[in-house]
Amino acid sequence: MATVAEPAREARNPDLTREFRRPDLARAILDRIKARLTAAQPLRLMEVCGTHTVAISRSGLRSLLGPEVDLVSGPGCPVCVTSQGDIDAMLELAGRSGVIVATYGDMVRVPGSRRSLLEARAAGARVEVVYSALDAVRLAAANPGDKVVFLGVGFETTAPGTALAMEAAEHEGVRNFLIYSAHKLVPPALAALVADPELGIAGFILPGHVSVVIGRRAYLEPLAARRIPAAIAGFEPVDILLAVDRMAEMLGAGRTEVANAYARAVAEEGNPLARAAIERCFVPVTATWRGLGEIPGSGLALRPHLAARDAREKLGVAAREAPDPPGCSCGDVLRGKIKPTACPLFGGPCTPTAPVGPCMVSTEGACAAYYRYER
């Protein structure tokens, strides 16, 4: 097997990002991967994270890896996995008098059962786009006569920010700042994907950002204990190829481990401060994911001492079951059953300017990435 000089991982490297974009390194690792595998038995891997999907599409890795590796996208786009019922509940809140809904930019364009938050705003609803949960606290402080509901979406990466915003609101006495939590946890979703034999996933490219927070150890129970190889990856082409190579090596040697191919950013235990912020404010609950359905322990609800900030409790709103838009295959895309181009609506009725489903809305959505880079 060819020896490849891998990039230095130390943070003192003056231009680390360039190292992980070097074409010569990428080519050498690609050759090594191909030497480990055969086209007759392709390695089916899921890139769990939407940012990885975009990075893979943009750099052409899917085609460079060739028939030996089948890369499928997963449920790692926070906007995309937010259930239709949660989106409808947010729309219901936005239509109420005395309520301002605050959320991230992509969220406002996701079609609900009847319309999007953007369309609701055009019809007079008070919907504000914010860049952080703390911006929503400031919005609440500036509008004391209204209730400002921040739509908390995203994984372990955004949940600490929501937690710290709630604590800032407590500290500053901003009582009209509420949360509708649709936050989700990645490890329980991975366990659900592993348990679905129809998907045939042989290994996971694990999300770099989430792993910075939760650490490598968080994957041992859902993956290694179920004998599924996995590798945490950064977001440059060499990072991703290293993760694929680690899994190809493991499978060849009959080992199942969780490798850390992003050691320059991810520690074994993650970020204890961020994890503690989640722990202080949230408790794991069953959550409904678009495409994956209900998964026990995969959502985050506010802890009882923050009940006064829980929009579901205080404003009596709840997600009801709602079907995906007619003809939309986002659910199958999100669990890696099909690739975006297999959806009959892809590139025809559904485009980034006229999205039918959320996977075409979000910058991290698989359909948007394929539309932009892989048509």
CB of 328 to ligand SF4, least distance (A): 4
Residue number with CB closer to ligand SF4 (270 or 340): 340
Residue number with CB closer to ligand SF4 (10 or 198): 198
Residue number with CB closer to ligand SF4 (223 or 345): 345
CB of 325 to ligand SF4, least distance (A): 7
CB of 324 to ligand SF4, least distance (A): 8
**Three-class DSSP category at 49:** strand
Q: Return the percent helix, strand and coil in the chain, to nearest 5.
A: 45, 20, 35
CB of 367 to ligand SF4, least distance (A): 3
- Report the distance separating Cα 125 and Cα 148, nearest Å: 13
Residue number with CB closer to ligand SF4 (309 or 339): 339
Tell which phi-psi region holds residue 290, choosing left (phi > 0), alpha (psi between -120 and 50) or beta.
beta
Residue number with CB closer to ligand SF4 (7 or 111): 111
- Reading the block at residue 280, the tokens are 């202080």
CB of 336 to ligand SF4, least distance (A): 12
Which residue's C-beta sits nearest to ligand SF4? 357
CB of 330 to ligand SF4, least distance (A): 4
CB of 338 to ligand SF4, least distance (A): 8
What is the full DSSP assignment across 164-233?
HHHHHHHHHT-TTEEEEEEEB-HHHHHHHHHT-TTT---EEEE-HHHHHHH-GGGGTTTTGGGT--EEE-
Backbone angles phi, psi at 149, to 5 degrees: -105, 115
Residue number with CB closer to ligand SF4 (154 or 357): 357
Sign of CA dihedral 79, 80, 83, 88: positive
The residue ranges that bind ligand SF4 (CB under 6 A) are: 328-330, 333, 340, 343, 345-346, 350, 355-357, 359-360, 367
Nearest to 233 by CA among 244, 223, 224, 222: 244
Residue 104: how many other CB atoms lie within 10 Å: 21
Residue number with CB closer to ligand SF4 (95 or 352): 352
- Reading the block at residue 138, the tokens are 């400031």
Nearest to 49 by CA among 346, 262, 326: 262
Nearest to 73 by CA among 355, 353, 293, 329: 329
Give 310's DSSP letter.
B
CB of 184 to ligand SF4, least distance (A): 19
- Report the distance separating Cα 287 and Cα 93, nearest Å: 19
Residue number with CB closer to ligand SF4 (205 or 343): 343
H or E segment at 37?
Answer: none
